[in-house]
Amino acid sequence: MQRPLFRPAAALRFVVNGQSGHGDSDATRDAIESGLRDAGRAGTVWFAAPGELAQVARKAAEQAVADGAAVVAVGGDGTINTVAQAAHAAGCTMGVIPRGTFNYFAREHGAPLETPDALRWLLDARPEPVQISAINGQVFLVNTSLGLYPDLLQDRETWKARFGRSRLVAFGAGMATLLRAQRRLRLSIEWDGQVRELRALTLFVGNNRLQLEQLGLGARDGLSEGAAADGHITAVILKPIGTLAMVGLMLRGALGQLGEASGIDRIVCQSLVVKPTRLLGRRKVKVAFDGEVDWMRSPLTIRVLPQPLWLLKAAPEVTAP
């Protein structure tokens, strides 16, 4: 596990997604630049135009490696995912300033949710290794999925465009998608020498302990700290169920009791291979990862990556006994 070179005084590279839904880019830049001046630190803010986030993230990561600095993602889980992909490939340290709706990755690792607070927290942080996973080589920090969940994400973006960005809008879009769910997946799943054939509405694979715990899918099978904490991921299978059962499932999810539902099955493992068995002539499968949706070629290999992501994290506070 090779630790990247990191000089605390080196100029940080902040990458901001210009396509994000907040519409306060100038305020974000001002908050970052004024915070850097107050702390006597150097840094640059890079805004990525629509469609250019991955390219900007790669350039920022390359410069960070050359200077022994860090690249900092400013945005939600999707933006953080893109910057993490670049940082992990380049082998540089990464930081986060959360600006999204749910911010699962940032919250799991202790980052404050307000930009000035997150920046101060970041400037006192040091690189620590954190687990990341990948689906067919594409990094994901929070989750990846196929089936119903990618449809849900696309519907959520449509609702956000009409009604704005909020957790209530996201929840409403999710309910609408689940209640009209019709498509069934036929999957072959291989893990730890086992093979299972099944039908499912969705396959959801979690890498984020906070999200799994909030859904009631945390610690199990002797993993006292949750499956995303010790080299494991949790695959959650939603079986085909009726409309009334779906309503009950949504209520359990809202209450953090999804693990108790009869329509849910789980697999805790380090890697799995997923083969949709009926693609109807198509060679690719629609998948989601950290809120983004794309098409990938089958079979899908999902695994914990052996090399961690080096994330700037503040040292935990020590309380007196």
Confidence (pLDDT) at 221: 45
Task: Report domain 12-131+308-313's class.
Answer: alpha beta
Residue 314 CA to residue 110 CA, distance in Å, equals 8
Q: Which amino acid is at 61?
A: A
Confidence (pLDDT) at 71: 98
CB 230 within 8 A of CB 168: no
Mean pLDDT over each residue of the chain, to the nearest integer:
83
Confidence (pLDDT) at 180: 56
Mean pLDDT of 67-71: 96
- State what percent of residues in the chain have pLDDT above 70: 74
Per-residue confidence band for 62, with pLDDT thresholds at 50, 70 and 90: very high
**What b/e sequence results for 215-245 when a residue is b if at least 16 CB atoms lie within 10 Å of its CB, and e otherwise?**
bbbbbeeebeebbbbeebbbbbbbbbbeeee
Q: Which of 4-18, 38-52, 96-110, 251-265 has the lowest mean pLDDT?
A: 251-265
What ranges do the domains of the chain cover? Answer: 12-131+308-313, 139-304
Confidence (pLDDT) at 148: 77
Q: Which of 48-52, 107-111, 302-306 has the lowest mean pLDDT?
A: 48-52
Mean pLDDT of 91-102: 92
Q: Which of 62-76, 121-135, 149-163 has the lowest mean pLDDT?
A: 149-163
Reduce the DSSP state of residue 208 to 3 states and report it. Answer: coil
- Using the predicted structure, report yes or no on whether residue 193 has a pLDDT greater than 90: yes
- Winning range, highest mean pLDDT, from 145-154, 227-236, 246-255: 227-236
Positive or negative torsion for Cα 95, 99, 102, 107: positive
Mean pLDDT of 28-56: 93
Confidence (pLDDT) at 254: 56
> Which of these, 72, 92, 93, lies nearest to 83 by C-alpha position?
72
Instruction: Record the tokens describing residue 18, joined without a space.
Output: 């210009």
**Could you tell me which CATH number the domain at 139-304 has?**
2.60.200.40
- Using the predicted structure, report yes or no on whether residue 251 has a pLDDT greater than 90: no
CB 273 within 8 A of CB 300: yes
Residue 234 CA to residue 216 CA, distance in Å, equals 12
Confidence (pLDDT) at 90: 96
The reported pTM is: 0.83
Per-residue confidence band for 18, with pLDDT thresholds at 50, 70 and 90: confident
Mean pLDDT of 192-213: 92
Confidence (pLDDT) at 185: 85
- Using the predicted structure, report yes or no on whether residue 146 has a pLDDT greater than 60: yes
CB 39 within 8 A of CB 71: no
How many other C-beta atoms lie within 10 A of the C-beta of residue 275?
A: 16
Could you report the per-residue pLDDT of 278-304, keeping only the tens digit for each?
655 567 899 999 989 899 999 999 999
Confidence (pLDDT) at 224: 40
Per-residue confidence band for 176, with pLDDT thresholds at 50, 70 and 90: low
* Runs of H (alpha helix) within the chain: 25-39, 53-67, 77-90, 104-108, 115-123, 148-163, 167-179, 209-214, 243-254
Ramachandran assignment for 108, one of left (phi > 0), alpha (psi -120 to 50 degrees), beta (any other): alpha
Confidence (pLDDT) at 223: 43
Helix (H) or strand (E) holding 317: none
Could you report the per-residue pLDDT of 204-238, keeping only the tens digit for each?
999 999 988 887 886 544 444 444 558 999 999 98
Residue 39 CA to residue 37 CA, distance in Å, equals 5
